[in-house]
Structure 1
Amino acid sequence: MTSPSHSKPAETMSAAVYRRFGPPEVVHVERVVKPSPRPDELLIRVRASTVSIADHRARSRRVPRGLQLLAAAGLGFVRPRHRILGMDAAGVVESVGADVTRFRPGADVLAMLGGAFGGHGEYVCVKQDAAVARKPANLTFDDAVTLVFGGMTARGFLKQARLQSGTSVLVNGASGAVGTAAVQLAKLAGAHVTAVCSGANADLVTSLGADRVIDYTTTDFAAVGQTWDVIVDCVGNAGFRRAGDLVNPGGALLLVVTDLSGLVRARRDSRRSGKTVTANVGPNPPEDLAFLVDLAESGSFRPVVDRAFDLAQIVDAHRYVDGGHKRGNVVLRVSAGADA
């Protein structure tokens, strides 16, 4: 008579989980099954992630006008498709699959997880050919993770414009995660940068390289009688109908945030105007993340952290982001050692 076999219980981890859409309170920390890497994946022990506007939209299902059905297809119609949010991660490679050659266990890395999410758990798996790069040696995990979501988004859009010395760039919503990155990247390319934000954030964006600041609470940038070579709209209120004529011939209108109309009309507006009009950030190649890492290590790109929350404070972190007034990035310290 054989003795019964006992399967080894699955390893677990702590993660911020949500099982229905709604306010910040739908998110809570619980124990879930720890992921295991496939042959082409590395397993990262997450030290830090960010709570971004993308997490807010995924959790609340509050998206720009007309995009509800499209968002539901990606996020889930009735229940969340991805129960652990977090579009980025900074951490340490715990283990690697048999086919992984780019990274070894113990390496400090950054990863753009994108629409797969997962950064708000203690561990996450990512393919080795995804947007993964070594962490800047001179930055903490808290600071380093801010390069990913905001930096990669800004980089993806700005690559579609012809930036050079003297190019005039307006960044609408310059004090957020994407905006603070766009200001810096445009300035590093030699552009003359106009930042649109509240007066309270003028010193911040000026310190990042903005040559001029327009306080949206007192002045409408569309009424100042100026045009720009490139407009980066990180707010969603500078679509082609309002801002198309403010873009110089051959310039670019980069719609980081837009509604369904802006998304559908972008290609037509681009073709008819002769200007680049796009709402597509493009791919997230690892080379872009490595580019940002090099800038940060050289001191050319500055991380912007508004505040940091521990994983146990995940509801407070979501409430803060929901307020709509964060400066730069809100960091989530997922596991011990995030400030190392």
Structure 2
Amino acid sequence: MNTTEKLYLPVDGIFEMFNSFTGHHQPVLQRTALIPVLQHPSVSNISKTGMGIIKTVQGRLRQPDKSVVVSRSSSSGNLPVSIDRLSKRSVDPLEMALINPKNCHRIVVLGAPKVGKSNVLRRFLGREFEEHYEPTIEDFHRKLFHIEGEAYQVDLLDAARERGFPAKRRLTILTGDIFLLVFSLDDSDSFREVCDLLNEIKSAKAKLVKLKKPARVSVVICGNKADLDAQRAVSRSEVTGILGEDVPFFETSAKDGTGLEDMFQALATLGGLPGETSPSRHQIMSILTYQSLCIGRRGRRGNRTTKLSAPCAAVDPLARRPSFTSDLRLVLGSSTQNNKPEKCQIQ
């Protein structure tokens, strides 16, 4: 009776072997899992090439594992960081009771392509202007603040990928607390798109809470590229004439910083955030330093023992956008009344 034998091949050995064949020498993440390869006894005539591969893999299996490092860019340069150390960098502040859920906010950034959304976000994160344009598929950032003894979490979502998917965009809108709508002052079409987005946001929020008229939402309008004054196609009077005086509007330049401070201050005010969340009013530090300072100043039961001397913040380099399933559950939960879930209007 035929039996089946199992030959276990290490994943890292296979990758390293084929890298040696192709001439590519890239770091391979260490893996302890083994891949079972079924070998039927009837297939006994293995070619010389196949035997060579098996011997090579077996040889790799006998060799001691090498320490693995990866390069990660940072403001201070490219430094080798171990996988074990890197995996411990992202710590959920909510799970560690460092942040009150009411201090967690999501800013959704919407607008036409090539209007400078990514560079506006870069400025908020404390980074420099990027001259080279690359289309944004989706950009999610998380910035953690410690201000006057309180911890805050601000998630920033540049929903560029959802521009052609109305249902996904509607779901993102429903999960947003604050909205930043960006258009370019040298592109009148981008301004008309912002007007449409503003109406869509009001309509979506009204349906969520079942209002008969558009809901009042926390929205800031940003007319970017103010440095290109000679190419201006949208005037301030045109913007205020269409949107009215109630919607905060700022002419900005992500390139030279014009108007950004006032715009970020307006976002904080509308979202109920401290004014110190504005980039010029806090110190930026690494995520490891931030975590050590925050955790080190709490008692065993999670109570704060002392306050940080000055407002500080850090960008979580490993933060990832919550899944659409998580967002949908959040929206459905927020629309529940009398313990009866309501239908979520995302179409």
Higher helix proportion, which one? 2
Which is greater in Rg?
2
TM-score above 0.5: no
- Provide the TM-score with structure 1 as the length reference: 0.24
Higher strand proportion, which one? 1
- Provide the TM-score with structure 2 as the length reference: 0.24
